[in-house]
Amino acid sequence: MTLTVQLFGPYASAAGKSALLLDCGDVAAMTAGEVMAAMAKECPAIKAMLESAKLAVNCRYVTADQDVSEADELALIGMVGGG
Amino acid sequence: MKCSNESGETTRHKVTQRVAIQSESVMVLENEIQQVTAMLVQGPLDAISPPRIQSAGAVILFEGLVRPIENDASIAGLFYEVYEPMATTLLNDLALQTAKKFELIAVHVEHSKGFVPVYDCSFRLLVASKHRAEGLAAMDEFIIRMKQEVPIWKQVRTEQQQKDLA
């Protein structure tokens, strides 16, 4: 399974890209917590920032135990500040 | 561009590409119809006059403007990066939740995306309530939650950066 996680704002700047591709091997689903761990491993530049970020699945924040599959739209959201 | 209005005053005419209303909801709570709208707008928000809202005792309008100075330095404006589908959903959810919690009559929220020059408006929240207290409390809570939850990021743009992008 390959997952694509969209990055924005300071996360995209730190990573130097607007999306992270995660090769998760031969599994059909992972939890959001496992996806966050995979992101830290794939992109050490954002590892320290992940503590203040949440994963959004299909435009909704999820908890670490939420299942995620390849069909889901994933985004890393943190340090927002509109207005 | 600049133009004159009917009274001869010179006003700035903003060229704004307004997107269609992204989300509009009407909910009924205890026999009061609540109107809730949330939208993202390309560039600065146009000036408006606060509307008359039937049965409201208080109509509170907040506008967030881009300051000319940021960290002791002059800036050209702010660039708002928006994760649009989620921002639209969450702005609408937040407006609905706020309307329900504070028993508001109406909530209208607009937020800019893209570049907004200094002095222009990038965020507008209008709250209508029966009484002042719940309207003011709702306004404060909405803005605090929006800044924590809605995926919008702002980035300072200097004059030089704007020139480089032109």
Chain B nearest C-alpha distance from A75 (Å)? 9
Task: Give me the interface pTM, i.e. the ipTM.
Answer: 0.90
pLDDT value at residue B58 = 95
Looking at the partner chain, which of A6, A9, A75 has a beta carbon nearest the beta carbon of B153?
A: A9
CA closest to A7 among chain B residues? B83
pLDDT value at residue B30 = 47
Looking at the partner chain, which of A10, A59, A82 has a beta carbon nearest the beta carbon of B152?
A: A82
Looking at the partner chain, which of A10, A77, A83 has a beta carbon nearest the beta carbon of B151?
A: A77
CA proximity to B64, closest of B146, B129, B131, B164: B146
Given a cut of 50, whether residue B15 has pLDDT beyond it is no
- Using a pLDDT cut of 90, give the percent of chain A over it: 84
Contacts B151 to A, Cβ<8 Å: 8, 56, 75, 77, 80
Chain B nearest C-alpha distance from A80 (Å)? 5
Given a cut of 50, whether residue B10 has pLDDT beyond it is no
The tens digit of pLDDT for each residue in A39-69 reads 999 999 999 999 989 999 999 999 999 999 9
Given a cut of 80, whether residue B7 has pLDDT beyond it is no
Chain A nearest C-alpha distance from B46 (Å)? 15
Q: Quick count: other Cβ atoms within 10 Å of Cβ B22?
A: 18
Contacts 24+ apart (CB under 8 A), A27-31: A27/A1, A28/A1, A28/A69, A29/A1, A29/A67, A29/A68, A29/A69, A30/A1, A30/A3, A30/A67, A30/A68, A31/A64, A31/A65, A31/A66, A31/A67, A31/A68
Average the pLDDT over B129-156 and give the result: 96
